[in-house]
Amino acid sequence: MLMGIAELVILGLLFDWGFRKLKMPGLIGLLLLGVLVGPYAFDILNNETQSISQQLRLLALIVILLRAGFEMSRKALAKVGARAVMMSFIPCICEVGFVTLAAPTLLKISRLEAAMLGSILAAVSPAVVVPLMIQFIEEKRGADKGAPTLVLAGASCDDAVAIVLCTSFVGMYAGQSVNFGLSIAKIPISIILGIGAGLGIGIILHRFFKKFNPRATKRVLIILGLAVLLLNLQGKIEHIVPFSALLALMAIGFIILEKQEHMAHEISSKLGKVWIFAQLLLFTLVGAQVNVPVAAKAGLAGAGVIGIGLVGRIIGVQICLLKSHFNRKERLFVSFAYLPKATVQAAIGGVPLAAMIAAGMNIAPGEIILAIAVLSIILTAPLGALLISWSGKRLLTVASDDSPAAEAALESE
């Protein structure tokens, strides 16, 4: 296993360096490396590494979500306000709606099967989006109006909405008695409980750190340990109490940043160093999940459905930004930032197929759904990363958080 990880790290550094030399985001090189070494291409990836792939990806995701929290200031959140709430569900619902309408005609599947597909496609990939948003926040790109913070806050909740919708549609399809209204009600409860738990833990940690003053490295280890426990807790209680551990992770960093900025920046800096290693594993192992032969079965019709869904998502984003203080360039950036798909699709793309197999149903629709979920990763992860990187550097201005232009824009909204 250690040998497999060592090989991934060395190859990952080479691919990352090579793609940066080509003026492309390094994560695209890592995704490509994952596809090449994965079981669906050259099958070079160590079997032991594959067996713990999900745990390694989860650990890397924990690191980047914690970093997101430590970079999300209250002042930045105040700038986006209710827009972040709108961005958490409107683009997702629009994409689900567009796919549900288009897929039956293009793919010859039922409306409910199309709804399952739409809910799987509707999740944004935190693995792709969050690192790039943190980079822009650190560079203070778009900081005058908080565009990267808006994407961070909205996209994190967007995934929770998509997963709840997918679970509900699959339950209905398998003939289970599903209270759709209750399922939808779980979404805000999950978000509120997750944020509340994170804020509470963050306050306790801040007091503990102030009293005992451990080194920054030990603080990071404590936070990482608690983060793993939170995710484990979610798995044990989510069937009883809806709870979003991922939002809790971000809230921990947010409250420590609010209480003591210097401490938060120290922890964030340490997490940034851990991320250098974690990102190599995350993007490579996500790429290794891509089943290219399955994706090829989706064909042009599958690509068309994905494209129609993305049009719906962009329309949803633009609805959220109506009469906002963002200009046209910034709105275009936010639209691009909501395009990439990878982590969630790799995780739940096969759920409908598994449900159909378990129920003894015709599995052809499930195979179609899985193929298009995989195809969405291939098409949108690299393209989305390129568009985000390009638009962030060209469409967002570098300004201080308290610039007069930003204050005037906020007052006029």
In this structure, how many other beta carbons lie within 10 angstroms of the beta carbon of residue 409?
17
Q: Can you tell me the distance from the alpha carbon of 384 to that of 265, in angstroms, rounded to the nearest whole number?
A: 29
Q: Is residue 43 part of a domain?
A: no
- Please report the pLDDT score of residue 1 as a whole number: 66
Look up residue 23 and give its two tokens.
Answer: 């003026």
Q: Is residue 258 part of a domain?
A: yes
Q: Is residue 236 part of a domain?
A: yes
Nearest one of 17, 21, 40 to 30, comparing CA atoms: 17
Into how many domains does the chain fold? 1
Nearest one of 206, 218, 216, 230 to 59, comparing CA atoms: 230
- Please report the pLDDT score of residue 190 as a whole number: 84
Per-residue pLDDT of the chain (413 residues; tens, 9 = 90+): 677 788 889 999 999 999 989 888 888 899 899 889 988 888 888 777 877 877 887 888 888 888 888 888 888 788 787 888 899 899 999 999 999 999 999 999 999 999 999 999 998 988 889 889 989 988 999 888 889 999 988 887 788 788 888 888 888 887 766 666 777 777 788 888 989 999 999 999 999 999 999 998 999 999 999 999 998 888 888 778 888 888 899 899 999 999 999 999 999 999 988 988 888 888 888 888 778 888 888 889 999 999 999 999 999 999 999 988 999 999 999 999 999 998 788 778 888 988 898 888 988 898 899 889 888 988 998 899 999 999 999 999 986 544 444 444 444 44
Q: Identify the domain containing residue 311 by its residue range.
A: 52-135+146-398
Q: Is residue 13 part of a domain?
A: no
- CB proximity list for 154: less than 8 A, separation 6 or greater: 83, 84, 85, 86, 87, 88, 91, 320, 338
Q: Is residue 290 part of a domain?
A: yes
- Please report the pLDDT score of residue 42 as a whole number: 87
Q: Is residue 355 part of a domain?
A: yes
Q: Is residue 289 part of a domain?
A: yes
- Please report the pLDDT score of residue 16 as a whole number: 92
- Please report the pLDDT score of residue 43 as a whole number: 87
- Please report the pLDDT score of residue 400 as a whole number: 56
Q: Where are the extended beta strands (E) located within 117-220?
A: none
Look up residue 64 and give its two tokens.
Answer: 């980047």
Q: Which amino acid is at 332?
A: L
- Please report the pLDDT score of residue 409 as a whole number: 43
CATH number, domain containing residue 97: 1.20.1530.20
What is the C-alpha end-to-end distance of the chain, expressed in Å? 55
Q: Is residue 405 part of a domain?
A: no
